[in-house]
Structure formats: structure tokens, C-alpha cells
């Protein structure tokens, strides 16, 4: 993916065009799937030339990665189009500096609200539909979504392990365990359209997952 320095006269225009391309790609991937979406179609929807698309992105895999990166932030697509300020670094999440009893609940609610949103579920379906034919798609989803999420939780656990006197053998494994607790009994139901969870349900589930996570951490099971 190509970038331009902020002092480049074309930087603002290029940012807007890139945002339009990513937004068009998002809708095309959600409507048609990865395999059936062409770069020409994305260029037409974004009202740019195919040459402009390739000026920003090397190939369709690269473009799908940009869609997933934007989707990882609640305002990611608005930020791309210049409607909002650039997002804060991952480690500046509101809960990151708070003690575990509070932070894990806040982090859990944030995670569930994002993961169970219609758009995130739709993107997940796109990946699972075509990943067996395009292994790179699955790899990029793992890097852009799964590993970024686990890295955030892992950094938090590393910060508080000494303070709380936990005995964490592998913070990445511990982070993945927390995600598993959060997804249990919710993700499959939402993914298959069996139930739409309201905020009170996700909040209650996040509190339960956080409480169980704390039990595991204090018991040295992670």
C-alpha cells in the first residue's frame, strides 16, 4: 500500500481518494464476496480510474487488508474519508489504564459491541466463504483482526501481571482465552442470525467473562 507524506500537496486529495476506494471495496466485498469482486468494479463504484486504484493498492488482497484495518475502528471509514481525526493508537483505549476488575469488563463490552455488529459479522462471513480458495485472505484476516486484538489484550496483561502478582505463562494465550470466554454462547448465535443481542445482554455477558478471566488469572491457570 502506497502512502504520501503530510507535506505533499497531493496528500489530502490522495487520502480522500483512498478513502473512497476502501469504502467502495467494503460494499463490494459485502455484497458480492471476495472472489466475485473485481478491481474494475471497485474503481467504477469509487469513481476513480483503475490506475488510481493500483496507485494506492498493489492487489485485491492488499485492498481487503485496508478494509479490515478500517473495520477494526468504529469510525475507521469516516477517518479514511477525512470526516474524523486520525484514530488514537491502540494502547490508548479508555480501559487500558484502569485496574483489571474495571478494565476487563470495559474491554469485553467494547469487543462484543464491535464483533457482534452487522458489518463485522458480514466481513467474517466473506472471509470464511472464500478463505479456502484464497489462503492469503485468511492469513490477512488473522493478522489484521485476530492478532491485533490479541496483541492489545496481551499488552494489557503484561502491564498488570506484576502489579496483580499473576503468574501468566503466555500472555497471548491468556488473551485468546479471554476472547473465547467473550464469544462463548454469543458469537455463533449472532453469526447465524439466530439472535440479535441487545446492549444489556452483551454487558452482562462481558461481566461474566471478565469475572471468569480474573479467576483463571488469580489461579495461575494461564
One DSSP character per residue, 52-104 reads HHHHH-SSHHHHHHHHHHHHTSTTHHHHHTTSSPPPPPGGG-TTTTS-HHHHH
Q: How many CB atoms sit inside 10 A of residue 89's CB?
A: 8
In the listed set 27, 56, 80, which residue is the last one of a domain according to the structure?
Answer: 80
Cα–Cα distances (Å) from 58 to 3, 159, 185, in that order, read 12, 37, 39
pLDDT tens digits, the chain, 222 residues: what are they?
Answer: 455 565 666 667 778 888 889 989 988 888 888 888 899 999 999 999 999 999 889 888 888 888 887 776 655 445 444 444 444 455 568 898 899 999 999 999 999 998 998 888 988 888 888 888 888 788 888 887 888 888 889 999 999 999 999 999 999 999 999 999 999 999 999 999 999 999 999 999 999 999 999 999 999 999
Which CATH number do you get for residue 70? 1.10.10.60
Residue 85 lies in a domain: no
In the listed set 43, 60, 80, which residue is the last one of a domain according to the structure?
Answer: 80
Which CATH number do you get for residue 119? 1.10.357.10
Instruction: Show the domain range for 34.
Output: 11-80
Residue 201 lies in a domain: yes
The answer on 137 and 99 residing in a single domain is yes
The answer on 115 and 209 residing in a single domain is yes
Amino acid at each position: 500500500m502506497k502512502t504520501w507524506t503530510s507535506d505533499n500537496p497531493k496528500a489530502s486529495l490522495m487520502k480522500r481518494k483512498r478513502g473512497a476506494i476502501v469504502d467502495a471495496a467494503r460494499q463490494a466485498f459485502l455484497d458480492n464476496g471476495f472472489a466475485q469482486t473485481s478491481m474494475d468494479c471497485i474503481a467504477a463504484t469509487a469513481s476513480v480510474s483503475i490506475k488510481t486504484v493500483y496507485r494506492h493498492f498493489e492487489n485485491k488482497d492488499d485492498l481487503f487488508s485496508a478494509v479490515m484495518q478500517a473495520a477494526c475502528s468504529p469510525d475507521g471509514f469516516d477517518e479514511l474519508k477525512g470526516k474524523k481525526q486520525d484514530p488514537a493508537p491502540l494502547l490508548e483505549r479508555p480501559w487500558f489504564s484502569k485496574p483489571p476488575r474495571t478494565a476487563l469488563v470495559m474491554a469485553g463490552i467494547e469487543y462484543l459491541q464491535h464483533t457482534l455488529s452487522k458489518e463485522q459479522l458480514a466481513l467474517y462471513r466473506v472471509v470464511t466463504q472464500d478463505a479456502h480458495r484464497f489462503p492469503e485472505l485468511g492469513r490477512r484476516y488473522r493478522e489484521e483482526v485476530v492478532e491485533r486484538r490479541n496483541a492489545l489484550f496481551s499488552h494489557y496483561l503484561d502491564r498488570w501481571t506484576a502489579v496483580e502478582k499473576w503468574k501468566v505463562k503466555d500472555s497471548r494465550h491468556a488473551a485468546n482465552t479471554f476472547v473465547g470466554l467473550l464469544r462463548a454462547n454469543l458469537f455463533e448465535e449472532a453469526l447465524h442470525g439466530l439472535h440479535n443481542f441487545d446492549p444489556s445482554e452483551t454487558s452482562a455477558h462481558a461481566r461474566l467473562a471478565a469475572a471468569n478471566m480474573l479467576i483463571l488469572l488469580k489461579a495461575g491457570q494461564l
